[in-house]
């Protein structure tokens, strides 16, 4: 089975094309700067050198069309036609309370995703564009939506509710939803494999640290708490997001600085975090370089970032009643030994003893104590592809089961006289074929019986008939 995975953003389409037999990435790439004449396609086939091409990409339909043409390119492509694409998996940021797992996209699912645009106006509309475009360009191909929020739907009410009037939750759906769920899920699965223990027997804290960052508390493979909330703004300090903040700061800024709600939202999402503290960069690599060069506020941004991760690890260790492992993943978590060391500093009381050499080398296991600290690369595209394969497999199985149930119902409607008539008609002309046999039986019984049901009954009796 070959699966195309798409992650459609406001001005980009990230993609992977996988052969699920062996989970091989046949091709991957990115179309960025959609809507400009200087749009860029980055494409890599297998282990070949990356290809870069500047072109005009006016909209998402043109971007996805470019992806499909590239996959079918006579020299650099990996398929001869779109017929080789068995399904498309889409990253969808917000599924609200409607979805706790990946699902096959139909009109009802599409409508639910559209309703969730109110919760993720910067993401869901673009995710929907990808679904709609594929519905047009790959007509008839099954599509699966994988939701960032789905994994966290196992959180109990004491974790996901805010201490505001309950009626606002009922009326407006204001609650903690959590994000990065696809990443937290696959990283937890890989951590269990590394530890050689069943996931349903582990207590894990997964730290997805990148430009957007979140922490999750996972008990027995289920998320019980996570740092991001109603939006991805809550929780850790991030590249440009403030993270946790006294709610009174927003109205105070509106009053004192005469800012609108939209302006405050922009300030907290796009001008805060590491960028806001350093006033120079939202990139952890540049923050560390500046800190090493003596830039005071680069150092402050670094310490604030790590301090908040450390706080969440401690809090979630308490929520879980102890932990078996802390797992680092994503761009910062996988690549910054300095960040990992600082986040774990002082956590010896939890049973975590950092192995400094292993950490510097970027080993999978970076601790010596009874509680493991792991570095596990995330792969959200593979997780989406796996979900897509699973959903499509269930759909085919369900369709087969439905057909069998329908046949059973048809055969149950035949009495003994009707079954004798079927045998007599077959004996009169064994070469007639099921369609012709069905017509003759329908004429006799004044009742239509499908060719599939007739074939099943004849097979049960040990008789053969041509299709």
Asked whether the predicted pLDDT for residue 442 surpasses 80, the reply is: no
Q: How many CB atoms lie within 10 A of CB 374?
A: 21
The residue behind tokens 């599924």 is 95
Query: Can you give the pLDDT at residue 419?
Result: 84
With bands split at pLDDT 50, 70 and 90, how would you rate the model's confidence at 446? low
Q: Please check whether residue 23 lies inside any domain of the structure.
A: yes
Asked whether the predicted pLDDT for residue 16 surpasses 70, the reply is yes
Kindly state the percentage of the chain with pLDDT values over 90. 71
pLDDT band at 399 (very low <50, low <70, confident <90, very high): low
pLDDT band, very low/low/confident/very high, at 29 (cuts 50, 70, 90): very high
Whether 98 contacts 116, CB under 8 Å? yes
Per-residue pLDDT of 368-392, as tens digits, reads 989 999 999 999 999 999 999 999 9
On the question of pLDDT at 226 being above 80, the answer is: yes
State the pLDDT confidence band at 326, using cuts at 50, 70 and 90: very high
State the DSSP code for 205: E
Most confident region among 121-135, 310-324, 393-407, 442-456 by mean pLDDT: 310-324
Residue 48 pLDDT:
87
- Tens of pLDDT along 166-207? 999 999 999 999 999 999 999 999 999 999 999 999 999 999
Please state, rounded to an integer, the average pLDDT across all residues of the chain: 91
Q: Could you tell me if 77 and 223 lie in one domain?
A: no
Q: In this prediction, what percent of the chain has a pLDDT beyond 70? A: 96
On whether both 205 and 292 belong to a single domain, the answer is yes
pLDDT at residue 45 above 60? Answer: yes
Residues 364 and 415 in one domain: no
Is 207 in the same domain as 323? yes
Give buried/exposed letters for 144-174 (b at 16+ CB in 10 A, else e): bbbbbbbbbbbbeeebbeeeeeeeeeeeeeb
**Does 184 reside within a domain?**
no
Question: Are 306 and 391 members of one domain?
Answer: no
Non-local CB neighbours of 9 within 8 Å, separated by 6+ positions: 123, 126
75 is written with which tokens? Answer: 């020299």
18 contact partners, CB below 8 Å, separation of at least 6: 2, 3, 5, 24, 25, 26, 381, 382, 385
User: For residue 343, which of 302, 306, 299 has the smallest C-alpha distance?
Assistant: 306
The pLDDT score that the predictor gives to residue 401 is: 56
Per-residue pLDDT tens over the stretch 247-261: 999 999 999 999 999
The span from the CA of 211 to the CA of 176, in Å, is 20
Determine the average pLDDT of the residues in 430-451. 74
pLDDT, residue 447, reads 63
Report d(CA 410, CA 457) in Å as an integer.
10
* Per-residue pLDDT at 27 exceeds 60: yes
Residue 433 has pLDDT above 80, yes or no: no
Of 148, 225, 324, 387, which is the active-site residue? 148
Residue 24 β-bridge partners: 19
Q: Please report the pLDDT score of residue 398 as a whole number.
A: 57
Q: How far apart are CA 81 and CA 416, in angstroms?
A: 51
Does residue 10 lie within any of the structural domains?
yes
Are both 270 and 336 inside the same structural domain?
Answer: yes
Q: What is the pLDDT of residue 397?
A: 60
User: Which of 378, 409, 439 lies at the terminal end of a domain, its last residue?
Assistant: 378
| 188, 218 contact by CB (below 8 A) | yes
Closest Cα to residue 374, out of 179, 152, 203, 207? 207
Residue 165 in this model has a pLDDT that exceeds 80: yes
Domain ranges, residue 23 = 2-147
Q: Is 148 a catalytic residue?
A: yes
Are 391 and 374 found together in one domain? no
60 pLDDT more than 80: yes
Q: Check whether residue 315 and residue 414 sit in a common domain.
A: no
Q: Residue 430 above 90 pLDDT?
A: no
Looking at residue 67, its pLDDT comes to: 92
> How do 203-208 and 325-329 pair as beta strands?
parallel
**Statement to judge: residues 66 and 113 lie in one domain:** yes
Same domain as 84, residue 27: yes
Q: Is the pLDDT of residue 119 over 80?
A: yes
Q: Note whether residue 156 is domain-resident.
A: no
The pair of structure tokens assigned to 169 is 């939750």
Mean pLDDT along residues 411-439: 80
| 68 occurs within a structural domain | yes
φ, ψ dihedrals at 53, nearest 5°? -140, 125
In a domain, 467, yes or no: no
CATH number at residue 209: 3.30.420.40
Q: Is residue 128 part of a domain?
A: yes
Q: Are residues 394 and 280 in the same domain?
A: no
The answer on 300 and 444 residing in a single domain is no
> How many domains does one find in the chain?
3
């Amino acid at each position: 089975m070959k699966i195309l995975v798409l992650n459609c953003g406001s001005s980009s389409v990230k993609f992977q094309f996988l052969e699920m037999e062996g989970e091989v990435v046949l091709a991957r790439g990115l179309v960025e700067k959609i809507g400009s004449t200087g749009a860029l396609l980055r494409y890599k086939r297998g282990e070949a050198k990356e290809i870069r091409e500047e072109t005009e990409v006016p909209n998402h339909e043109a971007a996805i069309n470019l992806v499909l043409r590239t996959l079918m390119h006579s020299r650099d492509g990996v398929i001869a036609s779109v017929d080789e694409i068995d399904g498309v998996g889409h990253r969808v940021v917000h599924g609200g309370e409607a979805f706790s797992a990946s699902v096959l996209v139909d009109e009802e699912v599409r409508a639910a995703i559209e309703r969730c645009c109110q919760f993720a106006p910067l993401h869901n509309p673009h995710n929907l564009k990808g679904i709609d475009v594929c519905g047009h360009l790959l007509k008839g191909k099954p599509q699966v939506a994988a939701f960032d929020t789905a994994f966290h739907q196992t959180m109990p009410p004491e974790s996901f509710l805010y201490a505001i009037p309950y009626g606002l939750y009922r009326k407006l759906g204001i609650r903690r939803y959590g994000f990065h769920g696809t990443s937290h899920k696959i990283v937890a699965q890989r951590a269990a494999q590394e530890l050689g223990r069943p996931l349903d027997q582990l207590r894990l804290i997964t730290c997805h640290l990148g430009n957007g960052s979140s922490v999750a508390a996972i008990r027995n493979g289920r998320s019980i708490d996570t740092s991001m909330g109603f939006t991805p703004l809550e929780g850790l300090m991030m590249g440009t997001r403030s993270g946790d903040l006294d709610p009174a700061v927003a109205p105070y800024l509106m009053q004192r600085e005469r800012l609108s709600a939209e302006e405050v939202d922009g300030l907290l999402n796009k001008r805060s975090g590491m960028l806001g503290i350093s006033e120079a960069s939202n990139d952890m690599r540049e923050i560390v370089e500046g800190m090493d060069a003596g830039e005071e506020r680069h150092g402050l941004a670094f310490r604030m970032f790590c301090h908040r991760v450390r706080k969440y690890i401690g809090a979630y260790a308490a929520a879980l009643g102890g932990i078996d492992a802390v797992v680092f993943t994503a761009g910062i978590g996988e690549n910054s030994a300095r960040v990992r060391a600082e986040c774990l500093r002082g956590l010896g009381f939890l049973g975590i003893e950092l192995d400094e050499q292993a950490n510097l080398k970027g080993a999978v296991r970076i601790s010596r104590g009874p509680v493991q600290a792991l570095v596990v690369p995330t792969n959200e595209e593979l997780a989406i592809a796996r979900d897509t394969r699973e959903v499509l497999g269930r759909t085919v199985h369900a369709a087969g089961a439905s057909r069998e149930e329908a046949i059973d119902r048809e055969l149950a409607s035949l009495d003994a006289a009707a079954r004798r008539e079927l045998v007599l008609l077959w004996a009169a002309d064994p070469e007639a074929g099921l369609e012709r046999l069905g017509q003759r039986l329908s004429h006799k019984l004044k009742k239509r019986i499908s060719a599939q049901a007739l074939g099943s009954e004849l097979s049960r009796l040990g008789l053969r008939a041509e299709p």
